[in-house]
Structure formats: C-alpha cells, structure tokens
Structure 1
Amino acid sequence: MNVIGIIGAMPIEINHIKENINIIEEKEYAGFKFYIGKKENIKIVLTSCSIGKVNAASCTQILIDRFEVTHIINTGIAGSLNKDVKICDIVISDNVTHHDVRKEQMKRWFPFKEYFESDKFLIETAIKAYKKIDSNKFNYHVGRIVSGEAFISDCNLRDLIIKEHSPHCVEMEGSAIGHVACINNIPFLIIRSISDNADDNSTNYIDFEKIAANNSAILVLNILNILDES
C-alpha cells in the first residue's frame, strides 16, 4: 500500500485537507503532529512543519523514518516570480532549489545537485487532478520553485532571485522537502498557490492567504482521489 506524506508549513495550508479525509490516529514526534488517515488503497500522513527550511527538512525525515512514506507532497502558498503566474494560480514543481545557497556550493558538495527534480508521475497526476476541479477560476503552471530562509518582500531581492534562478514562485520550505526526499529516494512534488507577488506589497498576502491555501489543498485532495482509484 502506498503511504502518502503531505506537508504544509502552516495549519491554514492543511486544514481543508484535514477536514476532508478520515483521520484515524494522531502521533507526535519532535514537536510535530502527524494526522494518520486511510482511504481504500492508500494511507495518508498529514502534518504541519511550521515555517522555514530546517523545520521542513526535519519533518520530512520523520515522515520517511517513522511512517515509511512512499511519496511526499508539499502544499501551501507562495509569492509569484513570473509575470504569467497570477494571484491564486497553482504552480506544480518540475524542480526545486535553494535560492539562498550558491549554485557552485550545491554542485560541489553532497548531494552534488544544483536542483532537485520532482517526480514525473506525480506531476502528471497533479495536472489530471487540476482538470477535475469543477470551476477553473485559476490556472496551473509547471515550473521551478525556489525556497529560502526569508519572506521575500523586497523588489531588489526579488529581481536578483529571478535573474539567478528563473523560478515560477518563491516560498520557504519546498526545496528542503525536495532535498531530503531526493537523498532518501522518495518521489516528491511541491504544489503552491500564489498569495502575493513577492514584492514591496507582499505583506498584503493575508488578503489571499486562505483562498490560495484552499486552492492548493483542493488540488491535493484530487490527487489523493486519483491515487486511491489507481
């Protein structure tokens, strides 16, 4: 049986999923709460890792070691770094990387990768899941997602990240989740819905935070249904 680990940083990013799956057990490790659910053909372990790459990496390794997850999906919100990616749109990762670590350092030292590739099957499943959403009021995009230990709300830093990495969006956890999944040979996917434009006005993200979080969560629920059916 496949065991799907689902990670959100903040409770708002997993609440809609939690309300729509059957939770049969709760466990806690290292301060992280894990909600264990089950469908007919898959087991689900849902958790909130809190903000930042260290928290995300720690939580991901626990999912792998304690729950033996076979796949990992990260859901949540992000800031757009691409003119075609609008507020409330969905970004499905084809790869992830750290924007606050030098490319040369990543390539020269373990795990010797400039970026971490998302699982192709999960990407295809996410696209199928998007097409099952009743009202497509937002678009989806497949592209690079970057992460770092800072909330991006400065146009100069935003422009520098775009120049260096050409990403679709930026957040604070996805690359760490992808990094840990990769070195453990666990297929992963990062899904983000856009709450702001990572610029001088990005502190207004709260206006779209819940809508964006729910858009991402709806897509994840559809993915789970497809995986369960298959």
Structure 2
Amino acid sequence: MKLGIISALHEEQEGLVEAMQGPQKAIHGMRDYWTGKLGAVDAVCVLSRIGKVAAAMTATSLVERFGVTHILFTGVAGSGDSGVKVGDIVIAESLVQHDMNASPLFPRFEVPLTGQSHFLTDVQMSARLAHAAAGFLEHDLVNAIAVEERKEFGLQAPRLHRGLIASGDQFVHQKSQLGAIRDVLPGLLAVEMEGAAVAQACFELGVPFAVVRTISDNANEDAATDFMRFVKSVAARYSYYIVRRFSQA
C-alpha cells in the first residue's frame, strides 16, 4: 500500500506531516505533497482545498503523479441525521453528489456516462478505518481533546456511524437545505463538499478509497458558529489519532 491522505483544510491534517519519517515536499498544481513513512505505511499527505473539483484534481494527481495505490479522505462534515451529533464520527460506505442532476438525460444523482450515483468505498479499507476510529473513541479521546473543548462542544459520548455521505459545492447551513437533501437521500448521515468527488475519481481510476468525517455542526443556521475552533481543537485531533491508528494496523 502507498496511501494518499487528503484533507480540505490545513487544520484537518495538522500533525500528520510532523509524524512522518523522512518527509519530503513536492509542489504540483499549486499544492504541497508530502511523502514519507507514516507508521508502517508509505504515505503522501496533501491538502485538496475546498470543493469537488479541487478534491477530484488532487485525488487524480496522487494516483497519476505520485503513484498512490489507496486514498483516504479525512475531515469534517455537517450532520445529516438527528441521531448524528457533533463530535460523532461517520465512515462512508457510499457517497453521492447531492447537487448532480442531469435529468431527464440521466437519472438524478447519476454521474453521466458512469452508470453510478452512489459510489461504494473499499470494504477492507473502511473496516480498518472503523477499527481505528473505534480505538480512538475508546482509548484516545479523553487525552486527545482538552476538557474545556469537550465541555464547549458537548462531547459526552461520541459515537461511530457507517453509511451514506452526500457531497456538493455548497456549505449546508440552513435547515431547509438539509431537509431538501434528506428528503431525496434516505439514510443520509452527513453532508460535506469533497468526498463524492474523490469517490468518482477513484472509481474511474480503479483505486480503493475510504472517507472518514468528524461531525462539526448540525448543517443548520448555527453551522458556522465556532467552526474553525472546532476544526483546530477537536477535528484535527480526531484525524491525527485515527489516521495514525489506521497506518499502524
């Protein structure tokens, strides 16, 4: 395995490059790609920036230029279900682009000429990722997240979920937005802006992939409140510990 690790924001990948053995930087397409050893795995870390095009471009470059064999996307997402709370972890089993609509030429959500609407993650990678996330929640959370941050964000007993994540080029921050997406995508757990684009790129390139998201908000009118504080003080720690456990498995 040569693992490509993508995050949209610098804070979501904080600490991973520093944890690499012998990191080397290469610049390509206005992005810094860091190659090195992460635990037992050869890895390449990169920030995609926000949005579907940026994410798909980054995933393609990882494969075509840096020779990665597997891709892991880690970052934050908004909750897509009332049972998914801030601080919970969602591991994708499938991903869909909620803003893809080429009907009536193609069914809604289907990516034209692929025959796919819901892109399935790699079963083995996702199982390994779930094991890493469960280990983090059980063993690392208390020491990884400061007490005041756990209180501030109500991280009482974060849970692990597996299922559907939807991606689109919009920051979902209104109940009406989320409601419209949920109405047409039963079983939705989380909404974000990159995962399904990475999924499409990996599908077309034949590369196994997995996606893990920390729930940062409820995808409503309060979604932007203390968002960056959460990313820096909570989500960054989640990603660091989960990816480290994944790379050591």
Band of TM-score, shorter chain: over 0.9
Counterpart of 2:16 in structure 1 is: 17
Residue 112 and residue 46 in structure 1: after superposition, are their counterparts in 2 closer, same or farther (change >3 A)? same
Q: Give the letter for the 2:15 counterpart.
A: H
Structure 1 outlier segments of 4+, above 6 Å: none
The answer to whether 1:63 aligns with 2:85 is no
RMSD: 1.6
Q: Kindly indicate whether the alpha-carbon contact (under 8 Å) linking 1:96 and 1:116 is maintained by their aligned counterparts in 2.
A: yes
Cα deviation 1:12-71 (Å, max 9, x = unaligned): 011132232224210011101100011575210000010111100111100010111111
Distance 1:186 1:198 in 2: 30
Provide the TM-score with structure 2 as the length reference. Answer: 0.85
- 1:222 matched to 2:245? The reply is yes
Alpha-carbon distance, 1:120 to partner: 0.3
Tell me if structure 2 keeps the 8 A contact 1:145–1:170.
yes
Length-normalised TM-score, structure 1: 0.92
Question: Where in structure 2 are the equivalents of 1:80-91 lying within 5 Å?
Answer: 80-91=79-90
In structure 2, relative to structure 1, the CA distance for the partners of 1:120 and 1:108 (3 Å cut) is: closer
Question: Aligned partners of 2:189 and 2:22: how far apart in 1?
Answer: 33
- Give a deviation string over 1:180-199, Cα, whole Å, max 9, x none: 00111100011100110000
Identical-pair percentage: 29
Q: Say whether 1:174 aligns with 2:195.
A: yes
Q: How far apart, CA to CA, are the structure 1 residues paired with 2:158 and 2:91?
A: 13
Say whether the 8 Å CA contact 1:76–1:217 is kept in structure 2.
no
Task: Indicate conservation of the 8 Å contact 2:134/2:160, yes or no.
Answer: no
* Alignment deviations for residues 79-129 of structure 1 (CA, whole Å, 9 cap, x no partner): 001111110111000001101012715537221101100000011101221
Structure 2 residue 201 is matched with structure 1 residue 198: no
User: SS at the partner of 2:99?
Assistant: coil
Q: Could you say what secondary structure the match of 1:163 adopts?
A: helix
1:3·1:68 contact (CA, 8 Å) conserved in 2? yes
How many residue pairs match? The answer is 225
Instruction: Select between 214-223 and 56-65 the one with higher mean Cα deviation.
Output: 214-223
Larger Rg: 2
Where do 5+ consecutive residues of structure 1 fail to align?
none
Instruction: Specify the alignment match of 1:49 in structure 2.
Output: 48
Match of 1:114 in 2: 117
